[in-house]
Structure 1
């Protein structure tokens, strides 16, 4: 009797322990898909690196003004070894992050208010239209004249440049929320503050983050331009000083450092966006 009852249990255990057919094939397909995705993302970068290396060596461009990448990489290593690269990167990062964070703190609440309350939008609309069409670079001399050539003017110009993409995307995010969602919330008897908190704000987050990512790229670019105009340290100062001293390899090393910094900055913002919009997936 006992052996009769134990036999099905033994067969069930053996069936569970046996490998499922197709599991290895699925893993292989997933691995192949990941490898194909990585290849598609890197093929353009590899082609650009190869072109940079081969064009000067083939005489397509003057290698004095565009040295091969293999000659620029040691210069980047030397700048990192003597500490200049880290000092300049820290200075640029501090300035750009300060203006960027201040822009988020100011522009997101202001954009939510303008997008949600029509009287505020009608009051501030003409002023916003005036300043949004004024390039930050054009106002850089004004910032320097008023605030001086120190840190305040650099952070302020970054703040000004980063405010507009965040502000405009936040306003658009609030105004383009699906009206059906708002009507449904009102039909349930929710007051306006709760509708804004539970419906409008979550629906607006993806578009707001689009503006934040745009502002992140702008913060680095504007900071570099501001440092080229007047600064004693920073990646912009490094590039400008290298160009004036005809240290071409150091100049390209600084450009590479800026590109890597912008890439890392963008990836951090992408991860934050995924963290705050998990509900959307």
Structure 2
């Protein structure tokens, strides 16, 4: 299960995200980007973050640590912005927190070159989860201490917005023609051979168990949270075995090294390595990439 942390202080809204996430301080004195259950996208965004974050971490990809962030609506009483105040009041209880990553830089393919092996792993993972929000326009990737981190998985598994058609999602192609890493000569076949066998019923049960029951209760067509968890696994398991055969990719350019920074960034990413999380740079609106 996710570690439970209580929100001790609301610091600031992160306005570049569509769901108006906020920067908060937990009772463990750690800063978090909070995604609110009461935001317009609703609790399914939080479910997608938990399942995809758990899968990515178990597959060896770098993602921010997620926590169950308990919010007391009283924190919104002193907020001068009425929109933010209403969001805080309507999101009492369990919300999602992502550790804030201080000093991370937003991924720019012109400044940072990704190894084809890593690019293939990320692209295969996005194909598995149907991520529609990792384009070159909005990569949702950060570079922190010279390494690539994945953020913002709220726009994945879109089949859970229409469960009657979810079974067909296992065979649905994935259009990666505008994927942020499509130009990095991603080795998708290699990634599939490595990662697909690791997507097992046991792994999916472990990952979906991390979603709080409160975010799954009352789902139309299901008797309870366990049936909803099984429904996610019923799509992801067969999709993992076949999705690499249904990719739409542009003809890649030849991969060239060295990999990592091509040109020095304007500001080096200088967060504390012990505190992974989410941030966006070089703009000061840290966390917007993980906050939609």
Shorter chain as denominator, the TM-score bin is: under 0.3
Higher RCO (CA < 8 A, seq sep 6+) = 2
TM-score (norm 2): 0.22
TM-score (norm 1): 0.22
> 1 or 2, which has the higher strand percentage?
2
> 1 or 2, which has the higher helix percentage?
1
Q: Whose radius of gyration is greater, 1 or 2?
A: 1
